[in-house]
Structure 1
Amino acid sequence: MFTYDVAIIGAGAGGLNTAMEAASMGKKVVLVDKYKPGGECTWAGCIPSKALIQLADEIHTAKKYANIEVNGKQIMSKVRQLIKKAHQAEAVEQLQAAGIEYIQGDAKINDQHSIRVVDEIITAENIVIATGSRALIPSIKGIDQVNYLTNENVFQLEDLPKNLIVVGGGPIGVELTQAFQRLGVQVKLVEMADRILFREEKGLAHQLQSTLEEEGVQLYTSAKALEVKQANGTTTLTINRNDVLEHIEAEQILFALGRKPNIENIGLDDLGICYTNKGIEVNEYNETSVRNIYAVGDAVGPYLFSHMAGFQAKQAMRHAFLEMHTPIEQHPAWCTFTHPELARTGMTENEAREKFQDKFNVYTVSYSELDRAVVDQQTTGEAKIICDQDGFIIGASILGERACELLGELQLMKTFHIPFRKLKDTIHPYPSYSEILTQLSNVATE
Structure 2
Amino acid sequence: MRSFDAIIIGAGQAGPSLAGRFNDAGKTVAIIERKYVGGTCVNTGCKPTKTLVASAYAAHLARRAADYGVVLRGEVGIDMPAVMRRAYQLTLDSRHSNEDWLEGMEHCTLIRGHARLESRNTVRVGDEILTAPQIFLNVGARATIPDFPGVHDVPFMTNSDIVVLDRVPKHLVVIGGNYIGLEFAQMYRRFGAEVTVVEKGPRLVGREDEDVSQAVREILEAEGIHVRTGAECIRFAKHPDGVAVGVDCTEGEPEVIGSDVLLAVGRTPNTHDLGLDAVGVTTDARGYINVGEDLSTDVQGIWALGDCNGRGAFTHTAYNDFEIVAANLFDGDSRKVSDRLLGYALYIDPPLGRVGMSETEARKTGRKILVGQRPMTRVGRAVEKGETQGFMKIVADADSKEILGAAILGTGGDESIHGVLDMMNAGANYEMLRWAVPVHPTVSELWPTVILSMKPA
Question: What's the TM-score, normalizing by structure 1?
Answer: 0.94
The alpha carbon displacement at 1:96 in A equals 2.4
The alpha carbon displacement at 1:60 in A equals 0.5
Deviations 1:212-255 (Å, cap 9, x if unpaired)? 00100011111134321224451111112129871111110000
Contact kept in structure 2, 1:367 and 1:436, CA below 8 Å: no
* Structure 1, 278-287 or 79-88: larger mean CA deviation: 79-88
Amino acid paired to 2:383: V
Indicate the structure with greater strand content: 1
The alpha carbon displacement at 1:392 in A equals 1.3
- Judging changes above 3 Å, is the alpha-carbon distance between structure 1 residues 421 and 24 closer, same or farther for their aligned structure 2 residues? farther
What's 2:101 paired with? 94
The alpha carbon displacement at 1:323 in A equals 4.3
Alignment counterpart, residue 123 of structure 1, candidates 102, 127, 131? 131
- Judging changes above 3 Å, is the alpha-carbon distance between structure 1 residues 266 and 414 closer, same or farther for their aligned structure 2 residues? same
Alignment counterpart, residue 404 of structure 1, candidates 404, 407, 414? 414
Give the distance between the partners of 1:302 and 1:287, measured in 2 at CA: 12
What's 1:176 paired with? 184
Give the distance between the partners of 1:270 and 1:11, measured in 2 at CA: 23
Alignment counterpart, residue 258 of structure 1, candidates 252, 258, 266? 266
Amino acid paired to 1:317: A
Amino acid paired to 2:15: G
Residue 423 of structure 2 is aligned to residue 413 of structure 1: yes
Contact kept in structure 1, 2:31 and 2:110, CA below 8 Å: yes
Deviations 1:171-220 (Å, cap 9, x if unpaired)? 00011000000110100100111211110122122112101001000111
* Structure 1, 377-386 or 9-18: larger mean CA deviation: 9-18
Q: Tell me, which stretches of 5 or more residues in structure 2 are unaligned?
A: 66-71
The alpha carbon displacement at 1:116 in A equals 1.3
**Correspondence list, 1:380-391, <5 A:** 380-388=389-397, 389-391=399-401
What's 2:17 paired with? 17
- Judging changes above 3 Å, is the alpha-carbon distance between structure 1 residues 368 and 245 closer, same or farther for their aligned structure 2 residues? closer
Residue 60 of structure 2 is aligned to residue 53 of structure 1: no
Q: Secondary structure at the match of 1:40?
A: helix
- Judging changes above 3 Å, is the alpha-carbon distance between structure 1 residues 86 and 93 closer, same or farther for their aligned structure 2 residues? closer
Give the distance between the partners of 1:404 and 1:275, measured in 2 at CA: 33
Q: Secondary structure at the match of 1:15?
A: helix
Give the distance between the partners of 2:3 and 2:425, measured in 1 at CA: 38
- Judging changes above 3 Å, is the alpha-carbon distance between structure 1 residues 21 and 434 closer, same or farther for their aligned structure 2 residues? farther
Q: Tell me, which stretches of 5 or more residues in structure 1 are unaligned?
A: none
Give the distance between the partners of 2:22 and 2:402, measured in 1 at CA: 34
What's 1:298 paired with? 307
Give the distance between the partners of 1:280 and 1:401, measured in 2 at CA: 37
Amino acid paired to 2:3: T
What's 2:352 paired with? 342
Amino acid paired to 2:354: R
Contact kept in structure 1, 2:137 and 2:305, CA below 8 Å: yes
The 4+ residue runs of structure 1 with deviation greater than 6 A are: none
The alignment of Structure 1 onto Structure 2 pairs a total of residues equal to 444
Residue 61 of structure 2 is aligned to residue 34 of structure 1: no
**Correspondence list, 1:85-164, <5 A:** 85-90=93-98, 92-99=99-106, 100-164=108-172
Contact kept in structure 2, 1:272 and 1:290, CA below 8 Å: yes
Deviations 1:298-347 (Å, cap 9, x if unpaired)? 11114210110111122123333444335260111110011110011111
Give the distance between the partners of 2:208 and 2:283, measured in 1 at CA: 27
Contact kept in structure 2, 1:21 and 1:314, CA below 8 Å: no
Contact kept in structure 1, 2:35 and 2:112, CA below 8 Å: yes
Contact kept in structure 1, 2:394 and 2:451, CA below 8 Å: no
What's 2:68 paired with? none
Q: Secondary structure at the match of 1:197?
A: coil
Give the distance between the partners of 1:164 and 1:48, measured in 2 at CA: 19
Deviations 1:124-179 (Å, cap 9, x if unpaired)? 12100111111011111111121100001112223111111000001000110000
What's 1:354 paired with? 364
What's 1:62 paired with? 62
What's 1:392 paired with? 402
Give the distance between the partners of 1:105 and 1:38, measured in 2 at CA: 15
- Judging changes above 3 Å, is the alpha-carbon distance between structure 1 residues 186 and 313 closer, same or farther for their aligned structure 2 residues? same
- Judging changes above 3 Å, is the alpha-carbon distance between structure 1 residues 312 and 326 closer, same or farther for their aligned structure 2 residues? closer
Give the distance between the partners of 2:447 and 2:341, measured in 1 at CA: 19
The alpha carbon displacement at 1:277 in A equals 3.2
Give the distance between the partners of 1:265 and 1:194, measured in 2 at CA: 35
Give the distance between the partners of 1:152 and 1:188, measured in 2 at CA: 20
| C-alpha RMSD of matched pairs (Å) | 2.1
Contact kept in structure 1, 2:171 and 2:194, CA below 8 Å: yes
What's 2:384 paired with? 375
- Judging changes above 3 Å, is the alpha-carbon distance between structure 1 residues 355 and 32 closer, same or farther for their aligned structure 2 residues? same
* Structure 1, 53-62 or 415-424: larger mean CA deviation: 415-424
Alignment counterpart, residue 283 of structure 1, candidates 292, 296, 299? 292
Contact kept in structure 2, 1:17 and 1:309, CA below 8 Å: no
Amino acid paired to 2:425: T
What's 2:206 paired with? 198
Amino acid paired to 2:258: A
Give the distance between the partners of 2:402 and 2:187, measured in 1 at CA: 36
Give the distance between the partners of 1:172 and 1:83, measured in 2 at CA: 18
What's 2:375 paired with? 366
Contact kept in structure 2, 1:292 and 1:320, CA below 8 Å: no
- Judging changes above 3 Å, is the alpha-carbon distance between structure 1 residues 108 and 267 closer, same or farther for their aligned structure 2 residues? same
Q: Secondary structure at the match of 2:93?
A: helix
Give the distance between the partners of 1:271 and 1:265, measured in 2 at CA: 13
Give the distance between the partners of 2:285 and 2:26, measured in 1 at CA: 35
